[in-house]
Chain A
């Protein structure tokens, strides 16, 4: 059974990989080229695999003797970025969510707007108009803990379901055996690649070429700030849940408590990381700055807005803006959750599967 339909992007990918496979000068740059060398021909699934293994570091483009103006017009990062975008659209579950992915910017904006409005209306109906002009000691006075926890638990379960369904599909496209039959070492190595972004190192460890001919670590660092910032925020929320349900210790927390420390540190890291990634995208060499339906910028803006509004909340505690800020923050977080499911956040998932396959195939 053919799991992927061959698109013009796949055909261009196959054309380019055939040239690269005859050249092989780039084999030291990243995991893509050693993986390519295991093939003689490139069907759509193989191109999906290689494209999602590509971290868009740009080294192979800068160093390509066949890049334009050569008639071969080889541009691996650009071609693979287009394939990846089509992966994100085509392999999404359920299939009817595809238009949402294809209109990333609008989808994110509208979901943030709708969710903020919904929270505001809810608060209005519950407390009346005066609630918006007062300060509050605890957020739960405005929106009960049960409502918040219920909303995001439900969204979280939905996101997990979408991830699982999309990932299982992608796992099968890549022809990997059952996840339980894969060696533990393979997972460990793939995880190390993810946590270090080794493939953004250019092969010499000096960084990537997103911004031109000189290698730079800046994108890698901004991505680290974003990813680890996000993980810290996630840890803060998880710890908060433990405090609430296990320790029977509800919010608000002091600055020197676990959830607050982790959340603040993560939020600041996320703020700088996402701002940096936005800047980095704007500086991208035009030849490898590939259209992605606004998915990338949506995720970055949502992460930035989430951390900014989240960090602002405690500072606004005594202000009359608190309720508006709270509704806005929660609305943005809802939009971020939709982006987790049907947006650029999936790149991490697909890349993780591709890295697992790359490590799996390296085994004797």
Chain B
């Protein structure tokens, strides 16, 4: 199959479809190449739930006010200043329109949540989550006559002097035959995500420990397009060594475990490694502010596993996990079931219990209930672990996204070494490292996808159809 389009979009996640829709609305003919089959389409956007948006007034889906300056300060705080300031400021400014744009394209939001993450003021929640969002955008794309091709494999982009010419790929045809295809485009938007599902690539930088990581999202984000862009001379942002990994339930599926795999009880108990020893302050801060560093902490332990242990007092104080806890009436029994050295685990728990200072426990506040005199103290929510049944959950690092990407300018245009103008634009995770050089702010990935998706789609269409 051979075809020509004004704009080619690689990747049918939130950023890619946003770009495709904007390009089509500018009058361009658009073709979207999606590697996943139809029922697994949408990249990591399928697993998302909300978008962080600036707003000066309360909206249907957002409480109170979240102004430009506060957003900016939040971003500076989490990235430690590792951000391209003009692009970051642009992202924040245009985040205000994101909600309306999505609503106009059929996406429904739910009223502000007052749940555990306290995000009702800063983040708008998609009704039904990311897959509902993606279904709505696919419907909008269909209504605009956008051509979406699924199961496009081995996509190979052809560049000449920093200019995109065509994309060759294969796709499943009838009776398991693979059809060779080539599409030519006047401009391209790459929105193919990061490379977090390509653990072999990560292992080059991290070592083999990373092979024990779980991938929280789609298995299709393998970074093939990112590699081709870098090989073609695109400037890179971010570090290949950096990824966002959180501590999740170690029994989650290797890929696509999504939100379900979270374990929220770490601050309510202790965490030990395979030697049965504690290795970090479990009560340093609220869990939503700490789960990301626990990914790295668990990654540093033997075999990249750890165990969070709570007693019966903690039951009902955290979000119910998807897998049942390992349970026992004694610490020794728990150690045996988990395969940990029983004497060491008993010693750890006893030592911890003796170090607990008195205080008034309140899991909704930084309560100052702490241990004293341990090599590694727990700063908050420290209560003795002495009320059976005892419960344990296995923890592993779960990788969410990678930071390495291509550098873009304010038109979302990919910057190639030695070439000023290009017909290559980027949106979403593949360029998120421009704004988010380090750290994470809940919902900002979707904001970057929305803002740069709209910019990339419009710029690509303008270039293609004038």
Binding site for B on A (CB under 8 A): 18-19, 21-29, 40, 59-60, 62-72, 202-204, 206, 213-214
Chain A residue nearest in CB terms to B264: A22
In the bound complex, what is the Cα–Cα distance between A206 and B109 (angstroms)? 12
- What are the interface flags for B242-266 relative to A under an 8 Å C-beta threshold, 1 for contact and 0 otherwise? 0000000000010010111010000
Q: Check A59–B320 contact: CB distance below 8 A.
A: no
Closest residue on chain B to residue A67 by CB atoms? B39
Q: Provide a sorted-by-A list of 18 A–B residue pairs whose CB atoms are within 8 angstroms.
A: A18-B320, A25-B49, A25-B259, A26-B129, A28-B110, A28-B127, A28-B128, A62-B128, A63-B129, A63-B132, A63-B135, A66-B258, A68-B39, A69-B40, A203-B110, A203-B127, A203-B128, A214-B139
- The chain A residue sitting closest to B261, CB to CB, is A22
Known: A26-B129, A29-B128, A40-B316. A213 touches B47 (CB 8 A): no
Contact mask B111-150 → A, CB, 8 Å, 1/0?
1000100000000010111111001001100000000000
Shortest C-beta distance, B301 to chain A (Å), equals 24
Q: Judge whether B128 and A63 touch: CB under 8 Å.
A: yes
Contact of B129 among A22, A25, A40, A206 (CB under 8 A): A25
Q: Across the interface, which residues of A come within 8 angstroms of B256, CB to CB?
A: 65, 70
A26 cross-chain contacts in B, Cβ below 8 A: 128-129
With a cutoff of 8 Å between Cβ atoms, the chain B residues found around residue A59 in the complex are 128, 132
Interchain nearest-CB distance for A81 vs B (Å):
20
Tell me how far the C-beta of A58 lies from the nearest C-beta in chain B, rounded to whole angstroms: 11
| Known interface pairs A65-B258, A203-B127, A213-B139; A22-B132 also in contact (CB < 8 Å) | no
Which of B46, B127, B130 is close to A29, meaning CB atoms less than 8 Å apart? B127
Docked Cα-Cα span, A29 to B315, in Å, equals: 28
Nearest CB to that of B135 among chain A residues? A213
Asked if A19 and B129 sit within 8 Å, CB to CB, the answer is no
Chain A residues with CB below 8 A from B129, complex form: 23, 25-26, 63, 65
Bound CA span A294–B111, Å = 39
- Complex: A68 Cα to B110 Cα, angstroms: 25
Closest to B115 in A: A24
Among B40, B125, B260, point to the contact of A23 (Cβ < 8 A). B260
Say which residue of B108, B128, B319 sits within 8 Å of A25 (CB atoms): B128
Residues of chain B lying within 8 A (CB to CB) of residue A67: 39
Known contacts A22-B260, A65-B131, A206-B108, then 4 further A-B pairs from the complex at CB < 8 Å, ordered by chain A residue: A25-B129, A28-B110, A29-B128, A69-B40
Picked from B47, B132, B262, the residue with its CB within 8 Å of the CB of A62 is: B132
The complex places the Cα of A72 from the Cα of B47 at a distance, in Å, of 14
Evaluate whether A19 and B127 lie within 8 angstroms (CB atoms) in the complex, with A25-B49, A65-B47, A71-B253 already known. no
A309 to B129 CA separation, bound complex (whole angstroms):
47
CA distance A66 to B47 in the complex (A): 10
The distance in angstroms between the C-alpha atoms of A62 and B132, with both chains bound, is: 7
Q: Which residues of A contact B138 (CB under 8 A)?
A: 213
Which residues does chain B contribute within 8 Å of A23, judged by CB atoms? Answer: 129, 258-260, 322
Q: Which 5 A-B pairs have the closest CB atoms?
A: A25-B129, A28-B110, A63-B128, A204-B108, A63-B132
B128 near A19 with CB under 8 A, answer no
- B108 and A203 within 8 A (CB): yes
B443 interfacial by beta-carbon distance below 8 Å: no
Are A65 and B130 in contact, CB atoms less than 8 angstroms apart?
A: yes
- With A and B bound together, what is the CA distance between A22 and B259 in angstroms? 8
Kindly list chain A residues whose C-beta atoms are within 8 Å of the C-beta of B233: none
CB <8 Å contact, A65 and B46:
yes
Q: Does the CB pair A22–B128 fall under 8 Å?
A: no
| CB neighbours of A60 from chain B (8 A) | 128
| Residues of chain A within 8 A of B130, CB atoms compared | 25, 65
Contacts of A214 in B (CB 8 A): 139
In this assembly, does B321 line the interface, its C-beta being within 8 Å of a C-beta of chain A?
yes
Q: With the chains together, A19 CA to B40 CA distance in Å?
A: 19
Instruction: Kindly list chain A residues whose C-beta atoms are within 8 Å of the C-beta of B253.
Output: 71-72
Complex CA distance for A203 and B126, rounded to whole angstroms: 11
B18 vs chain A, min Cβ distance (A): 18
**Cross-chain contact A204 with B259 (CB below 8 angstroms):** no
In the assembled complex, how far is the CB of residue B315 from the closest CB belonging to chain A, in whole angstroms? 8
Q: In the complex, what distance in Å separates the CA atom of A60 from the CA atom of B315?
A: 28
* Closest CB in chain A relative to B20 CB, distance in Å: 18
Q: Which residue of A lies closest to B256 (CB)?
A: A70
Residue contact B260 to A63, C-beta cutoff 8 Å: no
Report the separation of the CA atoms of residues A225 and B46 in the bound assembly, to the nearest whole angstrom: 37
- How far is B132's CA from A23's CA once the two chains are assembled, in angstroms? 14
How far apart are the CA atoms of A28 and B110 in the complex, in Å? Answer: 6
A66, B260: Cβ atoms closer than 8 Å: yes
Which of A21, A24, A26, A67 neighbours the largest number of chain B CB atoms within 10 Å of its CB? Answer: A24
Complexed CA–CA distance, A63 and B39 (Å): 11
**Which single residue of chain A is at the shortest CB-CB distance from B113?**
A27
Q: How far is the CB of B349 from chain A (nearest CB, A)?
A: 24
Q: Which residues of chain A come closer than 8 Å to B135, judged between CB atoms?
A: 62-63, 213
Give min CB distance, B127 to chain A, whole Å: 5
Q: Are B131 and A63 in contact (CB under 8 A)?
A: yes
B residues within 8 A CB of A40? 315-316, 320
Interfacial chain B residues near A213, Cβ < 8 Å: 135, 138-139
Q: How far is the CA of A235 from the CA of B132 in the complex (A)?
A: 42
User: If A66-B260, A69-B39 touch, does A22 touch B321 (CB 8 Å cutoff)?
Assistant: yes
Q: How far is the CB of A187 from chain B (nearest CB, A)?
A: 25
Give complex CA distance A18, B321 in Å: 8
Residues on B with C-beta less than 8 A from A66 are 258, 260
Bound Cα distance A63, B138 (Å): 13
Chain B 67-97 interface residues, beta-carbon cutoff 8 Å to A:
none
* CA of A342 to CA of B11, assembled, Å: 53
With A69-B39, A69-B40 already in contact, the answer to whether A22 and B262 are too (CB < 8 A) is yes
Most buried by A among B139, B253, B260: B260
Contact across chains for B110 and A64 when beta carbons are under 8 A apart = no
B39: chain A residues at CB < 8 Å are 67-69
Chain A residues whose CB sits within 8 angstroms of the CB of B259 once the complex forms: 22-25, 65
Q: Tell me the nearest residue of chain B to A28, going by C-beta.
A: B110
Chain A min CB distance to B108 (Å): 4
Question: Roughly how many angstroms separate A70 CA and B259 CA in the complex, as a whole number?
Answer: 14
Q: Are B128 and A21 in contact (CB under 8 A)?
A: no
Q: Which residues of A contact B315 (CB under 8 A)?
A: 40
For A60, give the chain B residue with the smallest CB separation: B128
Kindly provide the distance from the CB of A7 to the nearest chain B CB, expressed in whole angstroms: 20
Contacts of B320 in A (CB 8 A): 18, 21-22, 40
> For residue B262, which residues in chain A have a CB less than 8 angstroms away from its CB?
22
CA separation between A69 and B253, bound complex, in Å?
13
Across-interface contacts of A29 in B (CB, < 8 A): 127-128
